[in-house]
Amino acid sequence: MLLDLWDRATTTQPPLTWPVSLLLGVVALALTWSPAGYRLVRHLVTLVHEAGHALVAALVGRRLTGIRLHSDTSGVTVSRGRPRGPGMVATVLAGYPAPALVGLAGAYLLGAGYAAGLLWGLVLTCALMLVLIRNLYGLWVVLATGASVALLSWSVSGRMLSAVAYLVVWSLLLAAPRSVVELQRQRRRRGGRGSDADQLARLTGLPAGLWIVAFWLVCAVCLVLGVRELTQGLG
């Protein structure tokens, strides 16, 4: 069983042609910019966002105590350690760029033919997050995401597997900058004093708006580089 999983995860598939990839990009664009579609994609973005917080918190030596994912597509990752300093700044900073960076890394993996590896990596991420989830809704989101991707990765053909992986990567790349725009809108409407940008402002003394610009620039650069990788051969 484990050998079969390893074989599936490491088997390579030829990258999709740029017209097919671009078509999947259009589908992902329609998803991320429609209310119902964005809400669905936003759950995946939030999952990766919180995984980014958790990974960096662990890397800088903070002790993770739990992750919560909520039905309004928000989330929170709680860790213990020094309340200020570079480690705390890095932990808070990691969230919004994470989906864009994962999307960009995914684009390069797809270019190398590792569509299956990308999807099984997402399954592994969900499995690791299960031990940190502290609410029922978050548990449902992680289980549903991991199980759905695992089922697809195990059962569909290589070309369909590639299509699913491309759609996931396109969705992450396109939704990441939109989530930053939504952050700014929420701050204008509600004040947003608990947002990542506002936490960074308190930690560093730099304005929250500057951190939002930084988030958006990272997401925009990843989108440009990711699109270039996903549409190789265009023009």
Asked whether residue 2 is domain-assigned, the answer is: no
Q: What is the mean pLDDT of the segment spanning 179-200?
A: 85
Give dist(CA 66, CA 76) in Å, integer: 8
Q: Which domain holds residue 92?
A: 13-230
Domain-embedded: residue 80: yes
pLDDT at 120 (0 to 100): 92
- Average predicted confidence (pLDDT) for the chain: 91
Residue 105 domain-assigned (yes or no): yes
Asked whether residue 16 carries a pLDDT value surpassing 70, the answer given is yes
Query: Would you state the pLDDT for residue 233?
Result: 65
> What pLDDT is recorded for position 45?
95
**In angstroms, what CA-CA distances link 39 with 46, 157, 172, 188?**
10, 28, 13, 21
pLDDT tens digits, residue range 173-188? 999 999 999 998 888 8
pLDDT mean over 102-126: 94
> Mean pLDDT over residues 192-197, rounded?
81
Angle between helices 97-111 and 35-59 (to 10 degrees): 90
CA–CA distances in Å: residue 59 to residues 52, 94, 104: 11, 11, 21
pTM: 0.93
For residue 19, pLDDT over 90 is answered with yes
Residue 8 lies in a domain: no
Instruction: Indicate the number of domains in the chain.
Output: 1
User: Per-residue DSSP letters for 53-80?
Assistant: HHHHHHHTTPEEEEEEE-TTS-EEEEEE
Q: What average pLDDT does this structure show over 33-40?
A: 87
pLDDT at 36: 86
**Cβ neighbours of residue 197 closer than 8 Å, sequence gap 6 or more:** 183, 187, 208, 209, 211, 212, 215
User: Would you say residue 38 lies in a domain?
Assistant: yes
Instruction: Look at residue 235 and tell me if it is in a domain.
Output: no
Is 235 a residue whose pLDDT tops 70? Answer: no
Confidence (pLDDT) at 208: 93
Q: Please report, rounded to a whole number, the percentage of residues in the chain having pLDDT higher than 90.
A: 75
pLDDT, average across residues 17-44:
92
Query: Which range, of 10-19, 22-31, 73-82, 105-114, averages the lowest pLDDT?
Result: 10-19
- Does residue 91 lie in a domain region? yes
pLDDT digits (tens, 9 = 90+) for 142-180: 999 999 999 988 888 778 999 999 999 999 999 999 999
